[in-house]
Amino acid sequence: MSAEAVDLLIIGAGMAGLTAGARAVRNGLSVLIVEISGDVGGSARFAGYVWTAPTHEIMDQQNPHGDVPLKRALVDRFADGVSWIRSVGVEVKDAQRILSFGRGHQFDTNHYVDTCWRLILDGGGELLLNTEAKRLLVERGVVAGAELRPADGTRKRVRARSTLIATGGFQGDPELRTAHVHPHADRMQLRSNPHSRGGGYRLAAQAGAATGHETAGFYGHLVPSGIPFADPADFVDLSLYYSEHALLFNLNNERFADETLGDHLTTIALLEQPESRGLLIADARVFRDWIVGSYVEGAVAVDKFALASKRGGRVGLADDLSELAYLPADWGYDGEAVRDGVEQYNQRASAGLEPTPGRRLDPLPLDEPPYYVIETVPAITFPFHGLLIDDRARVLNLDGEPLGGLLAAGSDVGGLWNRAYAGGIAAALVLGLTAADTAAKAAADAAAKATADAPAKAAT
């Protein structure tokens, strides 16, 4: 079995792994990255923005149950992360509002990951595609590298002072989704690359890593039912971001969540409803302002209702509220009850009364016909359950102490988000940079120790 040694072994070549690798070679470390697929970038290739909550106060409001040190690290180090992107020669647009509370920047994520790849190779690093990490090497409770299986089927043992898990989560594995997201999580479409199947999660857990949390939820979006993703562009084009301005009814013909909290949270709530499907209803105002308008400044606007209709989804157009009573019987909803639910909501909103469930944002009536109906289901991008780390990206053991030699970043991390979300690309960027800096410190400490030990060895 062939063997080599590096300062930093990175398992996974997505946003977090490539960021860490590029930073590490700039810090003078020897780096090896292994990627299970045939390309780098992972789900970052489908993104286009880096954003998060702009202050600790807003982060705490939006994500009250997230790990406090990780939340603080993300907010405090975000600006340095954006500066890092610019430092490698990738253009970053001026700051803009993202969702109702966030601030961030548009940038070309494909250009970024390809640039990091080039910087790693130019800096003497190595990247192995189509290579699987089979197990971590653990010596006296410290992770000392990993055993790899390259595409040719051989075995390769790599010793590393630091090993970074950055495999992108376990959303591609239905078994892990049902175990740690929800018993019905296996029915969701995958809104990400298909290669993030929990490889890093399993490796770390087998080595004694702590994981959590079981009820944290996932990041995803509502999509039209019955329409399989045909291309990664569908991940955005079919996402019904406008749901926070519409009304969502379950199979019991009831609203069950505050839609204005955001589509990503309504998505979690819908998974827990009967058959995990519901009717999303908008009026002409919502259609004009949010369905065919750019949801995020600078994004290409897509008529999601027309696209869902063209692709064979369950959609309907009602000229007035009374026509909602005639929903197709085979859809399984009571059309009259849904119509009555919209009317009751409108009556309370028009009178300035709080609807049930309430609406965080001022409730506006849906009283401008026609009405646009799409049956929707949740789709998953990545889980919030993952490896627990400290704010230096060090993986924790079951006693809550750092598991020596092991780091984690990106969607493999748990604890940061708990039924809340404020930017996955930002978290991968910040924690990837943090992991590289932690690895650099470990290498420097080892070098200093070796220098200090040299005179004693010479004397003997």
DSSP 281-342: EE-HHHIIIIISS-SSTTSPP--HHHHHHHTT--EEEESSGGGGGG--GGG---HHHHHHHH
pLDDT by 10-residue block (mean), the chain, 460 residues:
83 98 98 96 91 98 97 98 98 92 95 97 96 96 96 93 98 97 96 95 98 95 97 94 96 97 95 97 95 71 94 96 95 98 96 92 92 98 98 97 98 97 97 98 89 66
Please indicate, yes or no, whether residues 175 and 248 belong to a single structural domain of this protein.
no
Does residue 455 form part of some domain? no
**Residue 356 DSSP SS3:** coil
The residue range of the domain holding 284 is 220-379
Both tokens assigned to 56: 């600790």
Please indicate, yes or no, whether residues 173 and 237 belong to a single structural domain of this protein.
no
Distance from C-alpha of 122 to C-alpha of 118, rounded to nearest angstrom: 6
| Residues 389/407, Cβ–Cβ less than 8 Å | yes
Write down which residue in 359, 379, 399 finishes a domain. Answer: 379
Please indicate, yes or no, whether residues 270 and 305 belong to a single structural domain of this protein.
yes
Distance from C-alpha of 238 to C-alpha of 390, rounded to nearest angstrom: 36
Please indicate, yes or no, whether residues 410 and 368 belong to a single structural domain of this protein.
no
DSSP codes, 50-106: EEE-SSHHHHHHH-TTS-HHHHHHHHHHHHHHHHHHHHTT--BPPPEEETTTEEEEE
**Residue 374 DSSP SS3:** strand
Which residues share a beta bridge with 375? 279
pTM of the model: 0.94
Residues 6+ apart with CB under 8 A from 179: none
**Residue 164 DSSP SS3:** strand
Distance from C-alpha of 13 to C-alpha of 367, rounded to nearest angstrom: 49
Distance from C-alpha of 10 to C-alpha of 163, rounded to nearest angstrom: 6
Which pLDDT score, from 0 to 100, does residue 310 have?
A: 97
Write down which residue in 379, 414, 434 finishes a domain. Answer: 379
Both tokens assigned to 104: 């961030």
Please indicate, yes or no, whether residues 169 and 98 belong to a single structural domain of this protein.
yes
**Residue 200 DSSP SS3:** helix
Helix (H) or strand (E) holding 409: none
Please indicate, yes or no, whether residues 22 and 118 belong to a single structural domain of this protein.
yes
Which pLDDT score, from 0 to 100, does residue 363 have?
A: 86
The single residue listed with the structure tokens 């087998």 is 206
Does residue 123 form part of some domain? yes
Both tokens assigned to 395: 């993986």
Please indicate, yes or no, whether residues 411 and 442 belong to a single structural domain of this protein.
yes
Please indicate, yes or no, whether residues 347 and 242 belong to a single structural domain of this protein.
yes
Which pLDDT score, from 0 to 100, does residue 149 have?
A: 95
Please indicate, yes or no, whether residues 78 and 205 belong to a single structural domain of this protein.
yes
Which one-letter amino acid corresponds to residue 284? A
Please indicate, yes or no, whether residues 303 and 393 belong to a single structural domain of this protein.
no
Distance from C-alpha of 13 to C-alpha of 166, rounded to nearest angstrom: 7
Does residue 340 form part of some domain? yes
Closest to 73 (Cα-Cα) out of 91, 87, 53, 88: 53
Does residue 62 form part of some domain? yes
Write down which residue in 379, 396, 418 finishes a domain. Answer: 379
Does residue 43 form part of some domain? yes
| Residues 433/152, Cβ–Cβ less than 8 Å | no
Q: Count up the domains in the chain and report the number.
A: 2
Both tokens assigned to 325: 């009573």
Domain CATH for 391: 3.50.50.60
| Residues 59/76, Cβ–Cβ less than 8 Å | no
Does residue 456 form part of some domain? no
Both tokens assigned to 228: 């399989």
| Residues 423/51, Cβ–Cβ less than 8 Å | yes
Which residues share a beta bridge with 102? 98
Which pLDDT score, from 0 to 100, does residue 452 have?
A: 79
Please indicate, yes or no, whether residues 204 and 267 belong to a single structural domain of this protein.
no
Residues 6+ apart with CB under 8 A from 139: none
Phi, psi of 418 (to 5 degrees): -140, 95
Domain CATH for 373: 3.90.700.10
Please indicate, yes or no, whether residues 231 and 209 belong to a single structural domain of this protein.
no
Find out whether the peptide bond into 182 is cis, omega within 30 degrees of 0: no
Does residue 276 form part of some domain? yes
Which one-letter amino acid corresponds to residue 452? A
Q: Which region holds residue 262: left if phi is over 0, alpha if psi is between -120 and 50, else beta? A: left
Does residue 330 form part of some domain? yes
